[in-house]
Amino acid sequence: MSGNRPDVEAVQQSRPRTEPKRINVAISPEMVRALENVIENEGVTLTEALRRLVGYGDFVYRAVKEGGEQLTVTGPDGTREVVLL
């Protein structure tokens, strides 16, 4: 082992393992279209598309609710501010 790097196996064993939780929910047609958009554009499964969108939503939610930050989106047409109430 070189330097002060922790043993990878020891680190993995110290982390609590959380098992995935299955859920069954009804979603709106708009949500279905959002999932289909990610599936088509990213070439991922339905499960992975859902994971990504939930992750994006969690990131935005925390930024706005916990930190009070303003969000901006930069794209080919410039930068715009996103305001979530």
Domain count, the chain: 1
List, in sequence order, the alpha helices (H) in 1-85: 8-14, 29-42, 46-65
Compute φ and ψ for 79, nearest 5 degrees: -115, 140
- Per-residue pLDDT tens for 22-31? 999 999 999 9
Rounded to 5°, the CA angle 39-41-47 comes to: 20
- The mean of the pLDDT values for the chain is 83
Domain assignment of residue 41, given as a range: 26-82
- Per-residue pLDDT tens for 25-53? 999 999 999 999 999 999 999 999 999 99
pTM above 0.75, yes or no: no
Tell me, yes or no, whether 76 lies in a domain: yes
Tell me, yes or no, whether 14 lies in a domain: no
Tell me, yes or no, whether 40 lies in a domain: yes
**Rounded Cα gap, residues 6 and 37, in angstroms:** 41
